[in-house]
Structure 1
Amino acid sequence: MTLRLRIGFLPLVDAALLVAAADTGIAEAHGLSLELLRDVSWSNLRDRLHVRLLDAAHMLAPAAIASTLGIGGVTAPMVAPILLNLNGNALTVSARRFEEMARVAQGDLADPAVSAQALATLVSARKASGLPPLAFAAVFGFSCHTYLLRDWMALAGVRLGEDARLEIVPPVRTVEALASGEVDGFCAGAPWNTLAVEAGVGAILHCGVDLMPDLPEKVLAWRADDVERRGEAVARLNAALIEASRWVSDEANWPSLAGLLAAPDRLAAPAALIEAVLRGDIVQGGGRPLRQVPSYIRFDAAAIRPDPAHADRLLAAMARAGQVLVTLDLTERARAVFRPLVAEATQMKF
């Protein structure tokens, strides 16, 4: 019997496993009919999963933890029996701010410590001149994007939310917000950083791997009670995504994958640009050459296997951001989000 599942996603390259499973026949071969529903914000996806308008969702790993712990909203425990990727983020500033940072930088801006100090110089100059603080966008409060921004700025003692304003801007609006001057920079997943560079409005300062390599970024989230009562659906989808991981990780399939992701109901972005991201060929902007970034985004078997240790790393970042006070109970509940329980129960191999 074919099982029909409604899965929400945002238009990002890290939705690749879901798109590949749905659009290549992989899911069908596992007895699934996947309806992928494109959404506009992470809060929408979270809330639609909470009230069961979705069976599962493409979700920020920290958001799944926050929902489970009841931080920033209602308590709705979630389980991620599989990850969708590691890495994939970048930190982009407006073309104007990049030029200003380049003028005051004491060294190579490719060094996060140098770029953070250049930012600190701009922040101090604006304070002395009575200008409003710079604004940086993350795509959600409970996201690796927020923690990457905070930890980068902290290298030079700049406090996000105090010395620089934090704005929450959905991925689809980041380029527009940068172009309009609403924000001076943003941290988001692919392809939005590259789209900002291609539009001539931004320059990529750092890739996520420069700051926090192998960071658990997106997960396939289910409500915890659904994982317990809908084991067959979870197992089938896990199997389909593991097979999709093998297909997506094969370089020979990247042109086809880029074409699938480029579709209007998926990312609606140029296929050539998406393929470049898959290859780690990053157009930096700011007059700098193309940069090749190994493991810019990972979809391989090791990348998608859930590990309770992911929760430890993310909780530490959430604590640095002042979002949680880590306790033993909190840690145990957060670690329960990342459970390879389905794979172990069905003898699946990541």
Structure 2
Amino acid sequence: MTNRLRIGFLPLVDACLPILAHEHGFAEEEGLELTFLRDVSWATVMDRLLYGHSDAAHMLAPLAIAASLGRGRPAQPLAAPFVLGLNGNAVTISNALADALETSGELEGPKSLGERLKRVAQERRAAGKPLRFGVVHRYSTHNYMLRYWLASCGIKPDEDVEIVTVAPPFSADAMDAGEIDSSCVGEPWNSIAVEKGVGQIVLATAQIWRRGVEKVLALREERLEEIQPSVEGLIRAMRRAGEHFVDPENWDTNAAILSRPEYCDASHQLVRRAISDRLVLRQGKASREYPDFMFQYHEAANFPWVSQAEWLYSQLVRWDGMEYDADHAKAASRVFRPDVYRSALKDTDNPLPTANSKVEGSVSEALEASVQGGTILLENNTFFDGESFDPDLLEGYINSQK
């Protein structure tokens, strides 16, 4: 018997794993029939999920937590048993702002770029025309990464600069219209702004947090309980899709699939750049490689570390002007479901970490970590400012950022 799952998504390259699980037959081998609901805004993806129009969704990790805590709408517990990828976003700035910052045409260092940006931001604020940054949603890693970087560089979000919401497919148009000076968005929308000649890529979010959690597969908690065997089959299919996705021999094939109108609706060339960690930063220039720009498979990248959810909760508290609440912190941590991930993969050769949490940002050199049946090698996962996040010290971490 085939089990049918409806999956909501936005046209972004990091929606790749469920799509490729379907296209390459991995889902079918698990007895699953996948259909996809393509939207243009995260609000609509969330509405479809909460109202039962979809069974699961390609979802912003912080939005899954915010929905579970009742931020902006009645609380409805969500579950994220699978991380669809780490990083994959970039900061693109208008040509006028690039001139003001005297950018190099390469990816800039976060600290040096932040110092120059602080000066321009103060000048623009004094002139009554503050810089305006576009992010894809209030509860997005894009928003939190951007704010974390700006604040660490001495720029006060919402005071020195404005931050507004722009749906990913409209980010290049908003920059072209002069509505925003910069955007933090996923691919292929940074590259589309470059191709249109309206902006330049200056920073990858992987430079802010090298292994920052990004999208997750999200379901209503009650729906997960109803269809958990099917979800576990989907997890196995997506792990196989991830292995296929990161193999250079498959980049052209997968770029051709993801670029189709029903998925990303973007050029094959732009999608392939993101898959291969190569980006054209400025119109007419050669592509540049930034290793691990997107990170979809290795180092147990799909494992839903509870510590990642807790870091996202710390940023929600910080930027929503909330106080730490132990019950809310527990509810946020419960959104990430390593138990379901382990259950799905227990009889496979996939690495299964023995812990549910780790100190985020603590690995600057290769480090062996324990997994079921052995060890895996974890690479650099640092924050650009040298800070780290210990989930056992969550409340203190939140207080230190006020």
TM-score (norm 2): 0.82
Instruction: Check whether the contact 1:102–1:109 (CA below 8 A) recurs between aligned residues.
Output: no
Aligned residue type for 2:46: R
Among 175, 178, 192, the residue aligned to 2:175: 178
The answer as to 2:73 corresponding to 1:76 is no
The answer as to 2:129 corresponding to 1:139 is no
The answer as to 2:201 corresponding to 1:219 is no
* Structure 1 residue 198: Cα displacement: 1.5
* Structure 1 residue 290: Cα displacement: 3.2
Runs of 4+ in 1 over 6 A off after TM superposition: none
Per-residue deviation, residues 129-187 of structure 1 (Å, max 9, x unmatched)? x3321111000001111112212222332222222111100101001001110100000
Distance 1:348 1:209, change over 3 A: farther
Among 121, 124, 127, the residue aligned to 2:125: 127
User: How far apart in 2 are the matches of 1:100 and 1:15?
Assistant: 35
Instruction: Check whether the contact 2:125–2:161 (CA below 8 A) recurs between aligned residues.
Output: no
Distance 1:96 1:52, change over 3 A: same
* Structure 1 residue 114: Cα displacement: 1.8
The answer as to 2:261 corresponding to 1:264 is yes
Aligned residue type for 2:111: A
Structure 2 portions without partners, runs of 5+: 351-402
User: How far apart in 1 are the matches of 2:101 and 2:43?
Assistant: 33
The answer as to 2:231 corresponding to 1:234 is yes
* Structure 1 residue 89: Cα displacement: 0.6
Per-residue deviation, residues 70-123 of structure 1 (Å, max 9, x unmatched)? 1122211111111111110101110111111118x9xx9712122122222222
Instruction: Check whether the contact 2:133–2:163 (CA below 8 A) recurs between aligned residues.
Output: yes
Aligned residue type for 2:150: M
* Structure-to-structure mapping, 1:94-113, within 5 angstroms: 94-102=94-102, 110-113=108-111
The answer as to 2:53 corresponding to 1:53 is yes
User: How far apart in 2 are the matches of 1:125 and 1:62?
Assistant: 32
Instruction: Check whether the contact 1:311–1:331 (CA below 8 A) recurs between aligned residues.
Output: no
Moved more, 179-188 or 145-154: 145-154
Aligned residue type for 1:345: S
* Structure 1 residue 323: Cα displacement: 5.0
Bigger fraction of residues in helix: 1
SS of equivalent residue, structure 2 residue 335: coil
Instruction: Check whether the contact 1:4–1:33 (CA below 8 A) recurs between aligned residues.
Output: yes
Instruction: Check whether the contact 2:135–2:163 (CA below 8 A) recurs between aligned residues.
Output: yes
- Identify the residue that residue 190 of structure 2 maps to in structure 1: 193
- Identify the residue that residue 160 of structure 1 maps to in structure 2: 157
Which structure carries more relative contact order (alpha carbon 8 Å, separation 6+)?
1
Instruction: Check whether the contact 1:117–1:155 (CA below 8 A) recurs between aligned residues.
Output: no
User: How far apart in 2 are the matches of 1:283 and 1:198?
Assistant: 9
Instruction: Check whether the contact 1:4–1:35 (CA below 8 A) recurs between aligned residues.
Output: yes
Distance 1:181 1:36, change over 3 A: same
Per-residue deviation, residues 17-59 of structure 1 (Å, max 9, x unmatched)? 0110121211111111110111011111111111111100000
Identical counterparts, % of pairs:
37
SS of equivalent residue, structure 2 residue 270: helix
* Structure 1 residue 202: Cα displacement: 0.5
User: How far apart in 2 are the matches of 1:153 and 1:345?
Assistant: 40
Distance 1:250 1:286, change over 3 A: closer
User: How far apart in 2 are the matches of 1:286 and 1:312?
Assistant: 39
* Structure 1 residue 255: Cα displacement: 0.8
Distance 1:247 1:101, change over 3 A: same
Instruction: Check whether the contact 1:109–1:115 (CA below 8 A) recurs between aligned residues.
Output: no
SS of equivalent residue, structure 2 residue 20: helix
Instruction: Check whether the contact 1:68–1:75 (CA below 8 A) recurs between aligned residues.
Output: yes
Instruction: Check whether the contact 2:195–2:283 (CA below 8 A) recurs between aligned residues.
Output: no
Moved more, 215-224 or 153-162: 153-162
Structure 1 portions without partners, runs of 5+: none
User: How far apart in 2 are the matches of 1:37 and 1:91?
Assistant: 27
Instruction: Check whether the contact 1:91–1:208 (CA below 8 A) recurs between aligned residues.
Output: yes
User: How far apart in 2 are the matches of 1:199 and 1:339?
Assistant: 41
Aligned residue type for 1:46: M
- Identify the residue that residue 63 of structure 2 maps to in structure 1: 63
SS of equivalent residue, structure 2 residue 301: helix
- Identify the residue that residue 297 of structure 2 maps to in structure 1: 300
User: How far apart in 1 are the matches of 2:312 and 2:347?
Assistant: 26
- Identify the residue that residue 373 of structure 2 maps to in structure 1: none
Among 325, 328, 337, the residue aligned to 1:327: 325
User: How far apart in 2 are the matches of 1:4 and 1:214?
Assistant: 33
Instruction: Check whether the contact 2:303–2:341 (CA below 8 A) recurs between aligned residues.
Output: no
- Identify the residue that residue 92 of structure 1 maps to in structure 2: 92
Instruction: Check whether the contact 2:125–2:131 (CA below 8 A) recurs between aligned residues.
Output: no
